[in-house]
Structure 1
Amino acid sequence: MKFAKYAGLVILLAGGFSSQAQDEAPKLTLKGYVKDLFTANFSTPNDARFDNLIHNRLNLKWYPNEHLTGALEVRNRFFIGNSLGLIPNYGSYVDVNNDYVDMSVLPINNDKAVLHMMIDRAYLQWNKNNLEVTVGRQRINWGQNLVWNPNDIFNAYSFFDFDYEERPGSDALRVQYYTGVASSVEGTIKAADSWSKVVAAGIWRTNKWNYDFQGFAGKMKEHAVVGGGWAGSIKNAGFKGEMTWFGEAAGRKAQFITSSSIDYSFANSFYVNGSFLFNSSGVSEPDQSALGAFSLNKLDVRSLSPYRWSVFGQASYPFHPLVSGGLSVMVFPSDMGCFTSPFVTYSVVPNLDLDLLGQFFLGDIGEGYTLLAKVAYTRVKWSF
């Protein structure tokens, strides 16, 4: 019954949008992609795991008039492979980022195959003059940096989850008022079933000395929260940063998180990015369990990294008009844990890309410094 309601809603909205598209002025746009992601996991000695994910996304936008926009974005994923038989109830493992309103279904959920279907965005946006109001499931992007975003209190994301380009959304009410070309005030509240779980804050943005500045205050669940950030440049290098303080609550002590980054593109398109993260509640001594604390499920901005200090570096280069590649490295000085990710992208034809990517965790869990995770990915993506 739940699946029937889901499918009926998608068909009804798509049909309604299609009828609008027949008007002389287009009122509907439809974009999306189909991806196939093959994963080879060699983390367990003598027991390699192979998995495959077919991932389809449909992004519909509706423009009934000059002041109103409607959006419906659907995420469909079909999983098969060895992991389904090794991870109990794999369907519940991948059924995350569903926020307050349950808009996902698992029509197939067993140890052979899992089909997960979710409405990932569903909102209405009204704007007039300098006022903009958005209600529904939406992306609330307060972060400034590439890797770690302490300002992203509404919908944090993980850098390791490279196959989720759109990033999580939130069921929220958002009101923005633009006070200038590069300045605004905003108030946002995220839906929850109790006040102790509500996330609500106001943010002020402005531009000064060719820098974009922002400052915000509010509550994140049971914590008072205050933060801010900036984005500008030092000569020709981009310079960004953000910081957030969480007050003491519910037996959890106060916490301060800050991150800053510098990036630069050379004349030959060689690109470099360097960043750090400081987490006052992170571990500062060698900890065998810290590397295993990373999780893509129900990520919280307060746990972007389990370490007190984290350092990131990335370099990329277009070797050919159709081929680019690079390397990302993350180091955790507390116990010299390390994450590396080489990547190559080949543009086969327009709208069709082939990606090769690896993710390797190195660390010491009491048995010497070694590779703890060895995963290789091959992805084909067709966009339309």
Structure 2
Amino acid sequence: MRRPFFPIHPFTHSPIHNFLNRHILRLFLILLSLTASAQPAWEFSGYLVNLPVYQDNPARVSSIYLTERVFLNLTRLRLRPTLNLGDRTRIALEHEVTALYRTDVLPPYQQVTDITNRQRFDWRWYPLQEDYLTVSHFIDRLYGWHEFDFGEITIGRQRVAWGSGRIWNPTDLFNPINPASFDKLEKDGADLLSGKIFLGNFTDLTLVYNPRREVKDHNGAFRFRSNYRSYDVSLVGGYFDRRLILGGDFAGNLFTAGLRGEGIYAVSRNAGEENFLKFILGLDYQFTSKLYTLAEYQHNGQGRRDPRRYDYAALLNGTVINLAQNYLFLQALYQLHPLVNGGLGYNRNLDDNSGFVSLTLSYSFRQNIELSLGGQLCHGRTASEYGFYPQSLYLKG
């Protein structure tokens, strides 16, 4: 849900959720007891990113929201303390402080969500909320991890990244990133109980449980991963968003190029919703030590070919990242200098012929200091997917 200009509200607990939360807490305490005699060791890392952005909105957007040209400045400070309790147990936290200044109120589709559809708890707070300045802080990761001889278990808000695609990940059921979101640096954490069982070299089974506020909305999934000849392959399945999911992914080499693909088929139990197929197929090639290229196609059966049937509400609440069915992304990265890299990408909606060009130029001052200049140039007719997106120019450092 989106609440960029209002304080958060306390969440309520049903009896069954209190029951589940108690048992998850007990599991967490058991993990701590397993390493009660271990010598604790702290690690600390993090980063600071400043992202000034100039945006020129299309006339059809500015006529509605009176925001033709907007300047934004987004500052993110992420702190990553980790407590290691021996070699097999750790407790990790990633806490982010965000400050957003804007010269005008943003249209709804440019506002950020407080809580994703994979987060059980609302851990975002707003110390300052003014018309043009918002300061928030939130917990994006908070989990306990323990490794056994036969596997590992992780409890809490964590990152799970499934799939082999470079641009889209149909098998990533947890929070895939929209390719148009150049300001997104991290995948959102998901509130999960996950376990991995080691079955052999390059073979394992992952089980994931995602509690939600309503019992009928609980999610669960598995991923079996292995290796066949020169290919990494996996099989995924589960129950997500009231849909039965079955799919898989692969990655390997086709002669001297990289070949990857993934997909799912979803059988919906939601009234009035159709079953759908979603898949990607990608190819990348390193022409020289300096030039890398990528092409990736996505079929999004959850979308629509007719722009008049686009589900903008689902895009706004974060349940989908694209509206149409067929997409093609092309990218080239080139090393201009050992410290300077350039990138050119083009994403095209093959159904309504809208799209965007992304340009990047980055310079590494030192090992941990980088400055990037980028642009995102969108095109499309009225009511096309990318016809509503602004032209953007930004610095990132």
Give TM-score, length-normalised by structure 1: 0.85
Aligned 8 A contact 1:136 1:172 in 2: yes
SS in 1 for 2:168: coil
Question: Is this contact kept in 2: 1:95–1:116, CA < 8 A?
Answer: no
Matched, 1:165 2:185: yes
- Tell me how far 1:283 sits from its aligned partner: 2.3
1:106: which partner in 2?
126
Aligned partner letter, 1:175: G
Select 1:230's aligned residue among 250, 256, 275.
Answer: 250
Structure 1 residue matching 2:216: 3-state secondary structure: helix
The question of whether the paired residues in 1 share the 8 Å contact of 2:40 and 2:86 is answered with: no
* Displacement of 1:51: 1.1
How far apart, CA to CA, are the structure 1 residues paired with 2:244 and 2:169?
Answer: 18
1:22 maps to which residue? none
Q: What do residues 110-142 of structure 1 show as CA deviations (whole Å, max 9, x unaligned)?
A: 203101100110000010113100000001111
Supply the AA of the counterpart residue of 1:328: G
Post-superposition shift, 1:277?
0.6
Residues 275/329 of structure 1: CA separation in 2 closer, same or farther (3 Å cut): same
Mapping for residues 264-303 of structure 1, pairs under 5 Å: 264-285=285-306, 287=307, 290=310, 295=315, 298-300=317-319, 303=320
Segments of structure 2 that go 5 or more residues without pairing to the other structure are 1-6, 9-38, 63-67
Contact kept, 8 Å, 1:156 with 1:299, in 2: the verdict is: no
Instruction: Give yes or no for the alignment of 1:68 onto 2:85.
Output: no
CA 1:273 to 1:194, structure 2 compared with 1: closer, same or farther past 3 Å? Answer: same
Asked if 1:206 corresponds to 2:226, the answer is yes
Aligned residue for 2:160, secondary structure, equals coil
Deviation at 1:334, TM superposition (A): 1.2
- Structure 1 CA distance, aligned partners of 2:260 and 2:80? 30
Q: Does 1:376 align with 2:393?
A: yes
Q: 1:253 matched to which residue of 2?
A: 274
Q: Which residue of 2 is the match for residue 18 of structure 1?
A: none
- Out of 53, 73, 85, the position equivalent to 1:52 is 73
Q: 1:4-33, CA deviations, whole angstroms, 9 ceiling, x for partnerless residues?
A: xxxxxxxxxxxxxxxxxxxxx881111111
Do the aligned residues in 1 keep the contact of 2:354 with 2:387 (CA within 8 Å)?
no
What whole-Å deviation, never above 9, does each CA across 1:189-229 have from its counterpart, x for those lacking one?
11211232122011111101111111122101211111111
Between the two proteins, the alignment pairs up a number of residues equal to: 353
Matched residue SS, 2:351? coil
Aligned-residue sequence identity (percent) comes to 25
The 1:331–1:293 alpha-carbon spacing in structure 2 relative to 1, beyond 3 Å, is farther
Task: Tell me which residue corresponds to 1:32.
Answer: 46
Q: Which residue of 1 aligns with 2:364?
A: 347
Compare 369-378 and 235-244 and name the one that shifted more: 369-378
- Equivalent in the alignment of 1:9: none
Gapped regions of structure 1 (runs ≥ 5): 4-24
- How do residues 33-182 of structure 1 correspond to structure 2 at under 5 angstroms? 33-44=47-58, 47-83=68-104, 85-87=105-107, 93-97=112-116, 99-182=119-202
Q: 1:298 to 1:123 in 2, by over 3 A?
A: farther
Do the aligned partners of residues 112 and 365 (structure 1) sit closer, same or farther apart at CA in structure 2, a change above 3 Å counting? Answer: closer
Contact 1:277 / 1:311 at 8 angstroms: preserved in 2? yes
Shift of 1:294: 8.7
Report the counterpart of residue 315 of structure 1 in structure 2.
Answer: 332
How far apart in 1 are the matches of 2:283 and 2:351? 22
The structure-2 alpha-carbon separation of the partners of 1:284 and 1:182, relative to structure 1 and needing over 3 Å to count, comes to: same
Against the structure 1 CA distance between its residues 338 and 292, is the aligned structure 2 distance closer, same or farther, given a 3 Å change threshold? farther
Distance 1:110 1:264 in 2: 48
Q: 1:243 to 1:95 in 2, by over 3 A?
A: same
- 1:188 and 1:229 map into 2 onto residues whose CA distance is 18
Do 1:288 and 1:365's aligned partners in 2 also have CA atoms closer than 8 Å? no
- 1:307-341: per-residue Cα shift (whole Å, max 9, x none)? 11111110010101111011110111212111111
Change in Cα spacing, 1:177 to 1:371, as seen in structure 2 (3 Å) is closer
SS in 1 for 2:208: strand
Aligned to 2:210: 190
1:360 is matched with which residue: 377, 386, 390?
377
Is the CA contact 2:113–2:317 (under 8 Å) kept in the aligned structure 1?
Answer: no
What secondary structure does 1:247 align onto? strand
Secondary structure of the residue aligned to 1:41 is strand
Amino acid at match of 2:293: V
Instruction: Let me know the Cα RMSD of the aligned residues.
Output: 2.8
What is the distance in 1 between the residues matched to 2:182 and 2:85?
A: 34
Give the partner amino acid of 1:42. Answer: D
